[in-house]
């Protein structure tokens, strides 16, 4: 699929059919998520794939606080992207990186571990669409501690949220709904700044 078509088709889906996914598609989506940028090649991003129904139920109900009959339960694959800040600090305390910082770890202007995790999330979303599937991203105010508990993650693995992947059970957007979203989108004249803000 052409990249511009991927962008046009990508949207957040809330309802899925329970049809199983081809294993090779699952593997390609995971591989795509792990091919995102990595500040200093810190490699601080991990992906947890949840395929078994009981574990998917625990993630949806216990970690995301959804109802026991949530439509998310039908998504046959849940991906959880985690960022490990410690790996970034370790990497930037290695000799080659300390040389760049004058013997000190760089002052992180933004937490690049979350930038990299967001990139991994977007790659997974686009890879799902490229496979002819649908996806959505979900979170909860307490999902970090809840996902760490449910999935037995170490405390340094910080989950940014849950990506549900499967075949969409939603109807195509009606022309009226498409127009509604189009008119609500901020125009480029407000969002694109040339040369200066």
For residue 60, give Cα distances in angstroms to 38, 50, 74, 83, 97. Answer: 29, 11, 10, 20, 40
Q: Do 164 and 77 touch, CB atoms closer than 8 A?
A: yes
pLDDT tens per residue, range 37-64: 999 999 999 999 999 999 999 999 999 9
β-pairing, 134-138 vs 16-17, is unpaired
Query: How are beta strands 77-83 and 158-168 bridged, if at all?
Result: antiparallel
User: Residue 50, Cβ neighbours under 10 Å: how many?
Assistant: 23
> Which domains, from first to last, does the chain contain?
3-172 (3.40.109.10)
SS3 of residue 129 by DSSP = helix
- The average pLDDT across 16-45 equals 96
**pLDDT confidence of residue 171:** 74
pTM above 0.85, yes or no: yes
178: pLDDT confidence band, cut at 50, 70 and 90?
A: low
Give the orientation angle of helix 23-33 with respect to helix 112-130, to 10 degrees.
Answer: 150
Sign of CA dihedral 62, 126, 10, 193: positive
The pair of structure tokens assigned to 139 is 């979170």
Tell me the mean pLDDT in the region 28-32.
98
CA angle centred on 77, ends 74 and 80, rounded to 5°: 125
CA 108 – CA 87 distance, rounded (Å):
14
DSSP annotation of 66 reads -
Computed over every residue of the chain, the mean pLDDT equals 92
Greater confidence, 33 or 169?
33
Give the bridge partners for 137, in sequence order.
163
Backbone angles phi, psi at 80, to 5 degrees: -120, 115
What's the pLDDT at 120?
A: 98
Q: What is the pLDDT of residues 91-139, one digit of tens each?
A: 999 999 999 889 999 999 999 999 999 999 999 999 999 999 999 999 9
Is the alpha carbon torsion for 30, 142, 19, 9 positive or negative?
negative
């Amino acid at each position: 699929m052409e990249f511009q078509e991927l962008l046009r088709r990508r949207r957040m889906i809330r309802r899925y059919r329970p049809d199983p996914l081809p294993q090779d598609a699952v593997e390609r989506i995971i591989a795509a998520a792990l091919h995102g940028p990595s500040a200093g090649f810190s490699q601080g991003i991990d992906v947890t794939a949840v395929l078994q129904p009981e574990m998917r139920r625990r993630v949806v109900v216990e970690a995301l606080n959804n109802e026991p009959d949530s439509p998310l339960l039908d998504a046959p694959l849940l991906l959880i992207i985690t960022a490990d800040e410690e790996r970034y600090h370790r990497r930037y305390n290695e000799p080659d990186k300390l040389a760049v910082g004058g013997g000190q770890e760089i002052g992180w202007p933004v937490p690049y571990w979350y930038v990299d995790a967001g990139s991994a999330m977007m790659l997974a979303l686009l890879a799902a669409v490229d496979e002819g599937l649908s996806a959505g991203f979900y979170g909860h105010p307490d999902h970090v501690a809840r996902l760490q508990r449910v999935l037995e993650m170490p405390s340094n693995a910080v989950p940014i949220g849950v990506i549900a992947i499967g075949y969409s059970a939603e109807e195509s957007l009606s022309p009226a709904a498409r127009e509604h979203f189009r008119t609500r989108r901020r125009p480029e004249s407000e969002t694109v700044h040339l040369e200066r803000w």
